[in-house]
């Protein structure tokens, strides 16, 4: 039997229509099954913060041990003076392509400003 | 959130910054084993002669956020500032109790540490969203600054408009390369120091009195 890792690519359109918790559940439920999820556009900073918090609550000793999440480093923070800062909330910063997988099963070999090299094992703990 | 609610939140933050809150709460954040508690202890000892918590080479020694109130920081520039310092558990996206076994912990102890660590990280994220007014972000200058947790945390801090000072810690180690951190995060002030040896703390205090007013 051929063994492999399931890779789920989620489009920006699909994510846009989900609430924060729906996005997080979509990602975590898939990763907890051992899949690797690739988001066309990543999560906003607040969503990433929630993802970490929910991931921590799902960790079980001897079972799910968390996630590996990588994206390209962002560009310098925009600076728009006082008015830019006041109204920046109208347009939340959009994340960049992001890959998320089970900890111990997905490893990043190389992270550069515009390039990620990842390695995935067929079994966890590798 | 509606546009009106967002604009209201931004205006409220803007006016809070203008009229200044009574005392800012500064969170010390960073990945596990970056030296956050060592730095927190150094700051609190320098300013009040006390310590904030124990340190250990085993990751996740700090598993609860610890707050020290009314720490008076004095810069060499003569400015003083009263702050609450919050030492937080190291932020990570994964915790495996097997990692603690490698440090000689018994299985039960390692499992218990892992459980507490997961709660601690969730708590640290919650503090950042709700209760922190400024951040000292600590990185180990012997490691690659492009670790995902650093990129993610700096992104979260920026999105919340929190003032931040980045500390390139552990400059006492031979393979420390704080310049990598400076070039990775050129948009923020970066102070190179050793929390363990207490070198260059004055520059940090100067920066804190300027940034966290």
Assigned domain for A60 exists: yes
Confidence of residue B145 (pLDDT cuts 50, 70, 90): very high
Cβ–Cβ of A49/B125 closer than 8 Å?
yes
Query: Which residue of B118, B123, B150 is the best one to mutate when testing the A interface, meaning the one whose CB has the most A CBs within 10 A?
Result: B118
- Residue A67 near chain B (CB below 8 Å): yes
Q: What is the mean pLDDT of chain B?
A: 88
Domain span holding position A68: 7-120
Of residues A122 and A98, the one with the higher pLDDT is A98
pLDDT at residue number A105:
87
For the stretch A43-78, pLDDT in tens is 999 999 999 999 999 999 889 999 999 887 655 434
Buried b (16+ CB within 10 A) or exposed e, B122-159: bbbbebbeeebbbbbbbbbbbbebbbbbbbbbbbbbbb
Q: Could you say which DSSP state residue A70 is in? A: E
Is A92 a residue whose pLDDT tops 50?
Answer: no
pLDDT at residue number A90:
41
Confidence of residue B182 (pLDDT cuts 50, 70, 90): very high
> How far does Cα B20 stand from its chain's mean position?
22
Assigned domain for A2 exists: no
Q: With contact defined as beta carbons under 8 Å apart, do A116 and A70 qualify?
A: yes
- The predicted model scores a pTM of 0.84
- Residue A124 near chain B (CB below 8 Å): no
Instruction: State the count of interchain CB pairs (< 8 A) between A and B.
Output: 108
* Min Cα separation B176/chain A (Å): 20
Q: How many domains does chain A have?
A: 1
Q: Which chain B residues are within 8 Å of A50, Cβ to Cβ?
A: 125
Q: Of all helices (H) and strands (E), which one includes residue B109?
A: helix B107-130
Rounded Cα distance, B126 and A50, in Å? 9
Is A85 a residue whose pLDDT tops 50?
Answer: no
pLDDT at residue number A3:
80
C-alpha angle B138-B27-B190 in degrees, rounded to nearest 5 = 35
Is A91 a residue whose pLDDT tops 50?
Answer: no
For the stretch A9-53, pLDDT in tens is 999 999 999 999 999 999 999 999 999 999 999 899 999 999 999
Cβ–Cβ of A44/B159 closer than 8 Å?
yes
Q: Which chain A residues are within 8 Å of B14, Cβ to Cβ?
A: 82, 85-86
Domain edges within chain B = 23-211
Assigned domain for A125 exists: no
> Class for domain B23-211, per CATH?
alpha beta
- Kindly report which listed range (A43-47, A116-120, B16-20, B60-64) carries the lowest average pLDDT score: B16-20
Q: Closest partner residue to A103 among B10, B96, B146, by Cβ?
A: B96
Q: Could you say which DSSP state residue A24 is in? A: H
Cβ–Cβ of B111/A61 closer than 8 Å?
yes
Of residues A74 and B179, the one with the higher pLDDT is B179
């Amino acid at each position: 039997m051929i063994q492999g890792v399931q890779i789920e690519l989620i489009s920006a359109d699909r994510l846009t229509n989900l609430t924060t918790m729906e996005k997080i559940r979509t990602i975590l439920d898939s990763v907890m099954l051992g899949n690797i999820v690739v988001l066309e556009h990543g999560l906003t900073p607040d969503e990433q913060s929630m993802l970490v918090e929910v991931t921590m609550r799902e960790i079980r000793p001897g079972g799910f041990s968390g996630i590996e999440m990588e994206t390209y480093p962002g560009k310098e923070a925009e600076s728009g003076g006082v008015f830019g800062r006041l109204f920046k909330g109208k347009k939340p910063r959009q994340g960049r392509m992001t890959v998320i997988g089970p900890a111990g099963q997905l490893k990043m070999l190389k992270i550069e400003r515009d390039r990620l090299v990842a390695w995935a094992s067929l079994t966890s703990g590798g | 959130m509606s546009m009106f609610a967002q604009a209201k939140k931004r205006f409220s933050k803007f006016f809070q910054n203008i009229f200044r809150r009574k005392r800012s709460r500064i969170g010390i954040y960073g990945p596990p084993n970056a030296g956050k508690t060592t730095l927190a202890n150094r700051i609190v000892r320098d300013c009040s002669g006390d310590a904030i918590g124990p340190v250990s080479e085993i990751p996740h020694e700090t598993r609860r956020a610890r707050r020290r109130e009314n720490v008076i920081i004095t810069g060499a520039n003569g400015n003083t500032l009263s702050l609450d310092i919050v030492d937080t558990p190291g932020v990570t996206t994964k915790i495996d109790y097997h990692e603690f076994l490698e440090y000689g912990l018994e299985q039960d102890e390692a499992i218990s540490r892992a459980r507490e660590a997961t709660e601690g990280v969730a708590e640290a994220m919650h503090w950042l969203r709700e209760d922190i007014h400024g951040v000292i972000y600590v990185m180990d200058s012997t490691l690659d600054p492009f670790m995902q947790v650093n990129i993610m945390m700096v992104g979260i801090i920026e999105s919340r408009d929190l003032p931040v000072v980045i500390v390139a810690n552990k400059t006492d180690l031979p393979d420390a390369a704080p310049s990598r951190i400076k070039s990775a995060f050129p948009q923020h002030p970066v102070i190179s120091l050793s929390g363990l040896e207490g070198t260059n703390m004055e520059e940090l205090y100067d920066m804190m009195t300027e940034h966290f007013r």
